[in-house]
Amino acid sequence: MKTDLQKVLSISGYPGLFTLVSQGRNGVIVESLVSKKRMNASGNTRITELADVAIYTDDDDVALKDVLRKIKEIYNGAPAVNHKSDEATLREFMTSVLPNYDRSRVYISHIKKIAEWYNLLQAYDMLDFEDVEKENDAKENKE
């Protein structure tokens, strides 16, 4: 089954990733990828859809989905570098994945998140992404 990155969320203040279950009265109901526990994330919590994340490069920004696909290609679908590795290892990892990433705007904390998110998605076999843009274009062309 393909993963819709619009339903995979990062929630400020909570470790790991979550999947969107439904809309609640005071926010959204999410489920942790790791523990499978559900919780309500209130409307004033910063919630980020992974589909909205992009990585700064020296040229144009690159969608996180494309970066994750590149990591999967480089590591042949195996786990990537540990997000708790030292800074030099993480920067080397990022350079191998996206050689032209903007070193002044992509901080080590960002690289750690990318490695952690990739490894979580890889562990739960969620690296086969839906191409929402292509599906929307196909629907528009049929009409």
> Tens digit of pLDDT for each residue in 107-140?
999 999 999 999 999 999 999 988 755 544 443 4
Cβ pair 106, 56 in contact under 8 A: yes
Q: What is the CATH number of the domain that holds 34?
A: 2.30.30.730
Lowest-confidence segment of 27-31, 39-43, 49-53, 129-133 by average pLDDT: 129-133
In angstroms, rounded to a whole number, what is the distance separating the alpha carbons of residues 143 and 130?
Answer: 21
How many domains in the chain?
2
In angstroms, rounded to a whole number, what is the distance separating the alpha carbons of residues 59 and 102?
Answer: 9
Instruction: Supply the range of the domain harboring residue 91.
Output: 53-123
* Residues 57 and 119 occupy one common structural domain: yes
Read off the amino acid at residue 39. Answer: M
For residue 92, being part of any structural domain is answered with yes
